[in-house]
């Protein structure tokens, strides 16, 4: 059977066209038309676990699916922006069918909407982050992630030294990667703690350095992969989850959407965290790595510090973590920063990582994180 035959359109919604929409918001229009489509399908809102949306959401220039999902009260397991102009609607339908066939989700809402203003005052911005976070100083990334770290320390008694260990290991691993921005610049735990506070309790060396750069990967069929030059690296499992956009709307500050994402990926692949030969974990801040280690089940909540102390995280250690240096040691080339973790995992699993090669590497966990521990994707990659 054709994979797309496993999916069907079961509900539709529509708004009456108007010349202008003075006072309306894109988010409000999206909410209304999604409500109509879900009701037409005879489903409850919580049954929707996939979201595809267009790029034109006036209340936000980025994190579009997370902003829309948050506004709708959804926590999708698959989401994306489809930007194909007039082909976007049709493009959404087949992507939704493919995601359902892949087992990523079961019910996807595809939505496009736009306002059209006449000469009138701008519509209000109903994006929760603009209403409840930014006015109180929680703007950008540094302050929200510092709040996550503060909460972890308050709830579990974790210490600045424990978080600093993660940054020190990233710098250690970067010394084995000549392409890393901090190659030739190691940093001890004491060095990390001596670096300036950016926003308490985060020190400068616990925060990624933005750099220029780029990453790319090519995906093909397993059959064709066997005919090409390198040892194939297979996608064995995947998981995805969005829980919020604004920190004020987060369900928790000490665990995040990577937990269900990783559990889904492990389940699809039939493996567990302890089976991984490489942990290639998104590390925009030390607290992000700390919580990911806990959410993966490698240690109990609040115990990442002891776990790090008990293990060696280099390529030749018992728990290799971000062997390219991670973003804390390699650098963060904007959105491509997350792709660096995939590229390193591929190199390790096809045994082409050179001097930092992990012996007999065959399984890797790769994670991606967006916004403030809001958007999460987990992959299990395996060598042939």
Looking at residue 321, which CATH number applies to its domain?
3.40.47.10
312-327 confidence digits (pLDDT tens)? 999 999 999 999 999 9
Average model confidence (pLDDT) across the chain? 90
Beta bridge partners of 109: 51
Does the pLDDT of residue 120 top 50, yes or no? no
- Are 17 and 116 spatial neighbours (Cβ–Cβ below 8 Å)? no
Whether 30 maps to a domain, the answer reads yes
Buried b (16+ CB within 10 A) or exposed e, 269-306: bebebeebbbbbbbbbbbbbbbbbbbbbebbeebbbbe
Residue 167: its pLDDT value, please? 98
Whether 253 maps to a domain, the answer reads yes
Q: Which domain holds residue 266?
A: 142-383
pTM: 0.85
Whether 211 maps to a domain, the answer reads yes
CA distance 118 to 69: 28
Q: Within a 10 A sphere around the Cβ of 320, how many other Cβ atoms? A: 24
Clarify whether residues 185 and 120 are in a common domain: no
Clarify whether residues 150 and 299 are in a common domain: yes
Average pLDDT over residues 354-360: 96
Instruction: Compute, in degrees rounded to 10, the torsion defined by CA atoms 370, 373, 374, 375.
Output: 40
For residue 46, what pLDDT band results from cuts at 50, 70 and 90?
Answer: very high
Q: Please provide the size of the chain in residues.
A: 384
Instruction: Compute, in degrees rounded to 10, the torsion defined by CA atoms 384, 319, 211, 202.
Output: 150
Question: Who has greater pLDDT, 29 or 202?
Answer: 202
* Tally of domains within the chain: 2
CA distance 267 to 280: 18
Whether 136 maps to a domain, the answer reads no
Q: Give φ, ψ of 343 to 5 degrees.
A: -60, -45
CA distance 98 to 195: 47
Whether 20 maps to a domain, the answer reads yes
Whether 41 maps to a domain, the answer reads yes
Whether 254 maps to a domain, the answer reads yes
CA distance 83 to 68: 15
Name the E strands within the chain: 50-53, 78-81, 108-111, 197-199, 202-203, 233-242, 278-280, 363-370, 375-383
For residue 12, what pLDDT band results from cuts at 50, 70 and 90?
Answer: confident
Which of 93, 126, 159 is the endpoint of a domain?
126
- Which is nearest to 204 in space by CA: 193, 214, 212, 215? 193
192-231 confidence digits (pLDDT tens)? 999 999 999 999 999 999 998 888 877 787 888 888 888 8
Concatenated DSSP letters for 78-92?
EEEE---GGGHHHHH
Q: Which two tokens stand for residue 227?
A: 């005919």
Ranges 14-28, 254-268, 331-345, most confident? 254-268
Q: To which residue do tokens 């616990």 refer?
A: 206
Clarify whether residues 179 and 203 are in a common domain: yes
Clarify whether residues 231 and 373 are in a common domain: yes
Clarify whether residues 149 and 20 are in a common domain: no
For residue 17, what pLDDT band results from cuts at 50, 70 and 90?
Answer: confident
Clarify whether residues 107 and 160 are in a common domain: no
Clarify whether residues 283 and 340 are in a common domain: yes
Clarify whether residues 276 and 325 are in a common domain: yes
Which of 96, 126, 156 is the endpoint of a domain?
126
Per mean pLDDT, which range of 27-31, 218-222, 255-259, 285-289 is the poorest?
218-222
């Amino acid at each position: 059977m054709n994979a797309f035959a496993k999916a069907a359109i079961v509900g539709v919604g529509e708004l009456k066209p108007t010349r202008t929409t003075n006072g309306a918001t894109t988010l409000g229009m999206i909410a209304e038309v999604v409500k109509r489509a879900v009701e037409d399908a005879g489903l409850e809102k919580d049954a929707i676990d996939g979201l595809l949306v267009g790029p034109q959401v006036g209340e936000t220039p980025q994190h579009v699916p997370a902003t829309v999902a948050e506004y709708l009260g959804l926590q999708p397991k698959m989401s994306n922006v489809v930007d194909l102009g007039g082909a976007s609607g049709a493009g959404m339908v087949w992507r939704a069918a493919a995601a359902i066939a892949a087992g990523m989700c079961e019910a996807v809402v595809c939505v496009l909407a736009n306002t059209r203003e006449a000469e009138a005052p701008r519509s209000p911005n109903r994006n929760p982050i603009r209403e409840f976070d930014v006015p109180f100083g929680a703007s950008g990334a540094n302050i929200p992630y510092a709040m996550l770290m503060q909460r972890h320390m308050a709830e579990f008694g974790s210490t600045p030294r424990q978080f600093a260990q993660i940054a020190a290991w990233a710098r250690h691993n970067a010394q084995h990667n000549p392409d890393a921005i901090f190659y030739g610049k190691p940093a001890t735990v004491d060095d990390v703690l001596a670096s300036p506070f950016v926003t308490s309790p985060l020190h400068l060396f616990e925060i990624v350095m933005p750099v220029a750069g780029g990453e790319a990967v090519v995906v093909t069929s397993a059959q064709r992969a066997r005919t090409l030059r390198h040892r194939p690296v297979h996608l064995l499992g995947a998981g995805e989850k969005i829980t919020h956009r604004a920190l004020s709307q987060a369900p928790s500050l000490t665990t995040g959407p990577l937990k269900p994402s990783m559990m889904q990926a492990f389940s699809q692949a039939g493996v567990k965290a302890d089976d991984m030969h490489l942990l290639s974990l998104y590390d925009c801040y030390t607290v992000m790595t700390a919580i990911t280690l806990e959410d993966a089940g490698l240690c109990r909540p609040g115990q990442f510090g002891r776990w790090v102390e008990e293990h060696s995280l280099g390529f030749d250690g018992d728990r290799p973590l971000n062997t390219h240096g991670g973003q804390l040691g390699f650098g963060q080339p904007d959105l491509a920063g997350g792709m660096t973790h995939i590229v390193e995992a591929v190199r390790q699993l096809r045994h082409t990582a050179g001097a930092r090669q992990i012996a007999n590497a065959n399984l890797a966990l790769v994670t991606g994180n967006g916004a403030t521990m809001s958007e999460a994707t987990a992959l299990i990659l395996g060598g042939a």
